[in-house]
Amino acid sequence: MDLQRFNSTLYLEDKNILFHTEGKNVTEGWINIECLWCDDPSHHLGISPSNLYHCWRCGLKGSAIDIVMKVENCSYGSALIVMENYEDYLPGYVNQEEKTQGVSRIKFPSDMKDLESLHRNYLIKRGFNPEELIEKYQLKACYLTGEFKYRIIVPVILDGRTVNFLGMDVTGQAKYRYKNNSNDNAIIPIKSLLYNLDSVQNTALIVEGITDVWRIGDGTVATMSMEYTQEQILLLCRKKVKKAVVMFDGEELAIRKAYKLANALSAAIPVVEVFELPSGDPAELSEKEVKNIRQKIFEY
């Protein structure tokens, strides 16, 4: 969530919480209320234009999310859902696409075709069955020219509808292995999505990349990098996931990032775990290893 889009004034009005925009204790541009955490006699808690707060009496600091959690007596994830109703501009969801840039249909590369030998051989070398992936994930390909040349085109689908796509290099020569579609040509920005979310039921296994999803299958979603966004957490909350397991690559940095994401998820999801790989990434797992992992994770 982009806190700057949260209309704190409207929220306070709806909750009948008295606020001040000028006068004693009020910094210009801020909104002040009586602190919700201390015995405040005179609206010492100030909310900045970027929706961060500071009580000048007890010294407590935080964001508007904390205020909503306190007022609603709810969890972090529930607070994000409440705050969605008070956003001046909310990107990232199909049922609100009229508030985005007006894109109602994805424009795929003009030279996009079915996968032929170059792209199929790449998948085979990675240990995948091209026919299965093409059918299940609706893969296409680009060839000699264009912005996505020599890439597999991977649609990102939400609620049964393609809302974005990315391209995966099959040559090993590109500067970046993955190339995102422009946000100007997307219904929903790529980092406001989780790849393969439609396959999730009660349990979500969260990985970094799309090939990790391909290896492990249904119930697995990809953040499409080691970094996560609040929009991605909110998607899992909306899905009413009861258990989330984070399994990033086996390197030290990725494991640290996995625990950071797990910590954020724990405020909104009942059961959260980190599954540490000893090395490598999930896309390199053997069929036997995938079977064992699925048995451990999806028995919830």
- Checking if the pLDDT of 3 tops 80, the result is no
* pLDDT recorded at residue 192: 87
* pLDDT recorded at residue 61: 86
* pLDDT recorded at residue 290: 96
Nearest to 138 by CA among 108, 104, 111, 114: 114
CATH number given to 197-297: 3.40.1360.10
Q: Please answer whether residues 106 and 187 qualify as being in contact, where contact means their C-beta atoms are separated by less than 8 angstroms.
A: yes
| pLDDT tens digits, one per residue of 155-166 | 999 989 999 999
What residue type is 190 in one-letter code? I
pLDDT bracket for residue 103 (50, 70, 90): low
Residue 193 DSSP class: -
* pLDDT recorded at residue 91: 41
Specify the DSSP element, H or E, that contains 254: helix 252-265
| pLDDT tens digits, one per residue of 203-239 | 999 999 999 999 999 999 999 999 888 788 888 887 8
- Checking if the pLDDT of 93 tops 50, the result is no
Region class of 39: left (phi > 0), else alpha (psi between -120 and 50), else beta = beta
- Checking if the pLDDT of 101 tops 80, the result is no
- Checking if the pLDDT of 4 tops 80, the result is no
| pLDDT tens digits, one per residue of 230-248 | 788 888 887 889 999 999 9
- Checking if the pLDDT of 100 tops 50, the result is no
- Checking if the pLDDT of 104 tops 60, the result is no
- Taking CA atoms, 129 is separated from 26, 100, 120, 121, 133, in Å, by 63, 37, 8, 10, 6
* pLDDT recorded at residue 109: 92
CATH superfamily of the 3-90 domain: Zinc finger, CHC2-typedomain (3.90.580.10)
| pLDDT tens digits, one per residue of 10-40 | 999 999 999 999 888 888 889 999 999 999 9
Q: Domain-by-domain residue ranges, the chain? A: 3-90, 117-189, 197-297
Radius of gyration of the chain (CA): 22
| pLDDT tens digits, one per residue of 159-196 | 899 999 999 999 999 988 999 998 888 888 898 899 99
Architecture, CATH, for domain 117-189:
Alpha-Beta Complex (3.90)
**What value does the mean pLDDT take over residues 78-107?**
61
Q: Please answer whether residues 122 and 97 qualify as being in contact, where contact means their C-beta atoms are separated by less than 8 angstroms.
A: no
- Checking if the pLDDT of 271 tops 90, the result is yes
- Checking if the pLDDT of 293 tops 50, the result is yes
Region class of 226: left (phi > 0), else alpha (psi between -120 and 50), else beta = alpha
- Checking if the pLDDT of 300 tops 70, the result is no
